Chain A
Amino acid sequence: MSTFIKDFIERETVSRRNFLFAAAAGMGAVAVPGLFGGGSARAALTDPAIAWSYRDRASAYWNSVVSGGEAFVESLGKPKSALVSLINEGSTEKSLSDIKAFLAKNNGNCAIACDANDSPNARPIVEAVQAAGAYVSTIWNKTDDLHPWDFGDNYVSHMTWSDEKPAEQTARILFEAMGGEGGVVHLGGIAANNPAVERLAGLKNALKDFPKIELLDAQPADWDTQKGAALMASFLTRYGDKIKGVHCAADNIAYGVIEALRAEGIENMPIVAYDGNPEAVQMVMDGQLLATVFTNPHWGGGISAALAYHAAIGTFKPSEEPKEHREFYGPTILITAKDAAEFKAKYLDSVPAYDWKDFWGPSNGRIQYKA
């Protein structure tokens, strides 16, 4: 008998025994948390642990979200480190397991803010949080049929940003700069991402009022600067001088577009972007970009943590709030050449001190679902 087969049989025999042991251990593990009474609805928590669950630290966006969360915990008189970062690296499984681990570690005494990474993942997260008697606020990703009011007080709120209207505004600014005629190309985000879909839809809405503007092409540049540069170069080959304006779904893409045009010696092409990153705001001031849109991630990060925390300690009772306080749009600020300097001074040069108990002041109305 070859050693391979011998080893195989041996391993299989052993693994059957191990399986029985593992099964017994697993049953025990399932039973144990029940002993501690997770799942029973609890009244207000005292001094809950605070966490933010998000994608990564490699982007200005999430760094800004976390800085808001940190500003909030500091406003409670705690050190920055009191905010626990649960980084999912773009993995839905990690997102859920990190949150479950956090709930278990603190025995449900938690206030969590999170972006569930993808829409279907929001439900298991919210269910796990409710079962542990903790409190959660979500941003961006959730399915349309999942609502905070279906979970009593534990699912405090959901905030998202509607990008369609601001993207339409940037498109109008672009078309007017083009003199109302000529060809335009759109470089989008990852095709299936909700913001990418909405930002393209905004452009298409604006097109209806500008019959002489032709949308030559719209393709995904995956939120990536290098992909943006390569795609813009290919567009130049295909459409050449017909391109009179560029609509970008993100600042990062616009940086690539500007460099692709620089390589060809093309200057003064009208370009609009989205996200309101500091570099892009500077470009608006320098005239390289016509407009970008700021979604105030710092405030979003702080207020999501604040909502979960204050619901947890009983400052307010979520189930007694109207629905527009449980599902709402975050703020969007359009930045153009005339207000860029003022915007930079107000939001970027020094971070404004927010009142973290003014939960809904800067928000933008109740979320509307498309039928």
Chain B
Amino acid sequence: MTRRLSRETMIKWAPLLVLIALVIFFTALNPTFFSLRNFARIAIAAAPALMVAVGVTFIIVMGSIDLSMEGTVSLTAVSFAFIFAQLGGSLAGLGWIAIPLVLVIGGVIGLLNGLVHVKLKIPSFMASLAMGFVGTGAAILLTGGDIVKVSDATFRGLLTVRWLGFPLMVYVAAFFLFVGWFIQTHTTLGRNFYAVGGGEDLAHASGLNVTRVRVTGFALAGVFYAIAAMLVVARIGQAESVTGANFMFVSITSVVVGGVALWGGIGGVWNALVGVLIVNVIDNGMVVIGLPDFLQDGVLGLLVILAVVLSTDRKMVSFVK
């Protein structure tokens, strides 16, 4: 019994150990890696990806998958930029109303996503992938392919104003990470995600409205994608139809590397955090130690496989699909 426990403990903490090992490795090769300024740079890059990863974590814990993040982030980012400009283009003025509005838009997109998946009985990866394309298409329609600038100094303060060395957007992301953690551990909904992911038939037989849990999960993920979208706009000062590009790879990779099992029921938002940090530390570290660019993609792939090998419990899995 004790041996089994220790193995579980090992696997639980493996992603964090991988992260620490990476930090030590990069620091050994270039000491400037280990500096507050560099950690702030990594945090800026990681903050939007973390919000996407937290959103998709809920879905993956349910044993489903959500691939709509690229379209949803693009569409909510573009919507935010337009609504913000319509309302005067200043956070100090009426512009702040754009924030709750865009959270609602994100939630509605997620809700539609969930309804398509559950009501039309389309597998979640297909339903969400299709919804993602719809989102990207809508973003192209809105912008006509152009860039929408958001230059309001107050809103951009999320990037430019620092507190203890980190920009405000990092604290916003941290706050919503705690919100995610609260939902996961202190609400019925959060526990239900695990019930569905751990054994859907059982959850259903116990009287749980699985349909409602799934749809709510997708809507919640949509809200987190909208937060990510606004952080991206804060970070680069613009929204366009490709704002969401790359988030699918980064977020799914991060969540898996962090130790959330794709078959559901295992892991949570802390795993998402560690996973996002691992991916961003690798990204940053490879440049900082001066790894030639033609090796970087290959090394990233290998490190991801290594991290998954170390951080997920594959002994329990009978076959992998």
Chain A residues with CB under 8 Å of chain B are 56-60, 62-63, 191, 217-220, 224-227, 229-231, 233-238, 240, 255-256, 259-260, 262-265, 277, 279
Contact = CB atoms under 8 A, between A and B. Distances in A.
A263 B146 contact: no
B186 to A, nearest CB: 33
Contacts of B136: 58
A226 B284 contact: no
A230 B167 CA distance: 15
Of listed B37, B136, B242, residue having the most chain A CB within 10 A: B242
A263 B284 contact: no
A224 B245 contact: yes
Interface string B286-303: 011010011000000000
A263 B160 contact: yes
B92 interface: no
Nearest to B287: A234
Contacts of A57: 140, 144-145
B284 A233 contact: yes
Contacts of A236: 37, 41
Interface in B216-265: 232, 235-238, 240-243, 245-246
Contact of A263 (B147, B159, B241): B159
Interface string B135-156: 0100010001111010000001
B105 interface: no
Contacts of B185: none
A214 to B, nearest CB: 14
Contact of B159 (A217, A234, A256, A259): A259
19 contacts: A58-B145, A224-B246, A226-B236, A227-B246, A233-B41, A237-B32, A237-B33, A237-B37, A237-B38, A237-B287, A237-B288, A238-B287, A240-B32, A256-B236, A259-B236, A259-B237, A260-B41, A263-B160, A265-B160
Contacts of A238: 30, 32, 287-288, 290
Contacts of A277: 147
Contacts of A237: 32-33, 35, 37-38, 41, 284, 287-288
B131 interface: no
Contact of A220 (B38, B146, B241, B293): B293
Contact of B167 (A191, A218, A263): A263
Contacts of B287: 217, 219, 231, 234-235, 237-238
Contacts of A191: 293-294
Contact of A60 (B35, B145, B167, B283): B145
A277 B33 CA distance: 35
